[in-house]
Amino acid sequence: MGKKKVGKDKAPHFKFVLFLVLVFLSGILSLKAMKSFNDFQKGMKIFQEKIREKKELEEKVASLQKTLSQINSPGGLALFLKQKFGLVEEGENLVYVVWPKEEENQSKNSKNFLGQVLNFLHKGFNKIFNKNDNFKR
């Protein structure tokens, strides 16, 4: 009877240890599964990015082919050179655009309220400092 009692005492410990081993193994497997899932997601992001890059390149190739076909058309080369490099043919007139100077931009800024206030303060300070300079002389 003593031997049976010892065997029954080992059985609950054996089941508990087996349970712990199974829990540990399932934890390891679930971590591996999560890592595999994360790797899969990263791979999908890279795949989608490559597909997007491929579409962009295909659009660029189509655009370049369209430009090339326009250049190869009669008069297309002259038009392309005019648009891209500003070249002109003999007998054509060239128009230059002259941008306004800084002073003209400031006069336009004075039309708004803040510009008017800043101009007023600037002129007032100039008058004050010029008067003080006159008194010192």
6 residue type, one letter: V
pLDDT in tens, 58-113: 999 999 999 888 888 878 888 888 888 877 778 887 777 777 776 655 555 556 77
pLDDT in tens, 28-42: 999 999 999 999 999
pTM > 0.75: no
State the DSSP code for 110: T
Q: Where are the domains of the chain?
A: 1-93, 97-137
For 31, the 3-state DSSP assignment is: helix
C-alpha 43/C-alpha 49 separation (Å) is 10
C-alpha 3/C-alpha 21 separation (Å) is 27
